[in-house]
Amino acid sequence: MGSRVVMLGRQGAGKGTQAVRIADALGVPHLSSGDMLRAAANGTTELGLVGKRYLERGELVPDEVVVALVAQCLTTPEASAGFVLDGFPRTRAQAESLDRVLRPCGVEVVVALSVPVEVVVARLSGRRVCASCATNYSLSAPPRQDWRCDTCGGPVVQRSDDVEEAIARRLALYDAETEPLIEFYRQRGVLVVVDGVGDEAVVFDRVLRLVEAATALRLSGRD
C-alpha cells in the first residue's frame, strides 16, 4: 500500500488546500470528511440528514456517522494505493476506528499544520467557497468575476459554519477533541509538525519535503 497521510490542524490552518496539493503530488486521492459530510447533507439519506444538523451548528458529527462515511471511501480500489485524509480523525475514538479500518498497515505520516489561533480566525471569517465544487476563495483573493467560481461558474458563498459564533465553537472543539491526537500520533513516531504560516506554495514545499522524508525513512526500515 502507498502513502497513507493524515493532515491535522486547526480549522483554517490550510489543511484542505495543502491536502489537495499533497494528494496530487503523491498521486493518491484526497479524502475530506467535511466534503463527504457536506455532499451527504445535500442528499436525502438518513446519514446525510443526521450530519446536516451538526454541520450547520459547527458541532462535531457523531463518530459513528463520520466513521461509516470515511470507511466507505477508504475501502475503495482508488484508495488502496494510498490517500491523504483531511479533517479525519478529529477524536480519539475516530483515530482508533481508523486504525481498525487500516489494519494491519496503519497511518504512515501525520502532518500537523501549526498556525496560531488569531491567524486562523482571520482566515476563517474571510473565507468564501464555491457552493458547487468547493474551491476556496477569500475576501482578499476573490474569484475573477462577480462571486462566481473561476473553475465551474458556481456561486461563491460564505459557509454557514464560517460565521463568528460557529468559528468559536469549532475552535473550542478542536482544542478539546482533536489537539490531543497530536500527542497520540507523536507517541507512535508518525508525526511531523509543519509551520503553516506563510505563502501557500512555501508551506506546500515544507509539507512535501517532510512527507517524502518520513515515507523514505519508513521504506528504508530505519524508523
* Residue 188 annotated to the active site: no
Q: Which of 52, 206 has the CB closer to ligand AMP?
A: 52
Which residues 6+ apart lie within 8 Å of 120 measured at CB?
10, 11, 12, 13, 171
- Using CB under 6 A as the binding rule, whether residue 215 contacts ligand AMP is answered as no
Q: State the catalytic residue, choosing from 4, 38, 123, 127.
A: 127
Q: Under a CB-based contact definition with an 8 Å cutoff, are residues 1 and 104 in contact?
A: no
With CB under 6 A as the contact rule, which of the stretches 1-9, 86-94, 193-201, 209-217 interacts with ligand AMP?
86-94
Q: How far is CA 79 from CA 3, 26, 64, 71, 210, in A?
A: 10, 12, 21, 11, 22
- Using CB under 6 A as the binding rule, whether residue 11 contacts ligand AMP is answered as yes
Taking the alpha carbons at both ends of the chain, their separation in whole angstroms is 17
Binding mask 135-174 for ligand AMP (x = CB under 6 A): --------------------------x--------x----
* Residue 112 CA from chain centroid, whole number: 11
Q: Which of 53, 209 has the CB closer to ligand AMP?
A: 53
Q: Which of 20, 37 has the CB closer to ligand AMP?
A: 37
* Residue 159 annotated to the active site: yes
Q: Which of 135, 218 has the CB closer to ligand AMP?
A: 135
* Residue 128 annotated to the active site: no
- Using CB under 6 A as the binding rule, whether residue 128 contacts ligand AMP is answered as no
Provide the pairing of β-strand 109-114 with 127-130.
Answer: unpaired
Binding mask 46-75 for ligand AMP (x = CB under 6 A): --------xx--xxxx----x---------
Q: Under a CB-based contact definition with an 8 Å cutoff, are residues 203 and 196 in contact?
A: yes
* Residue 21 annotated to the active site: no
- Using CB under 6 A as the binding rule, whether residue 34 contacts ligand AMP is answered as yes
Q: Under a CB-based contact definition with an 8 Å cutoff, are residues 21 and 196 in contact?
A: no
CA angle 194, 199, 200 (to 5 degrees): 70
Active-site residue set: 15, 90, 127, 159, 170
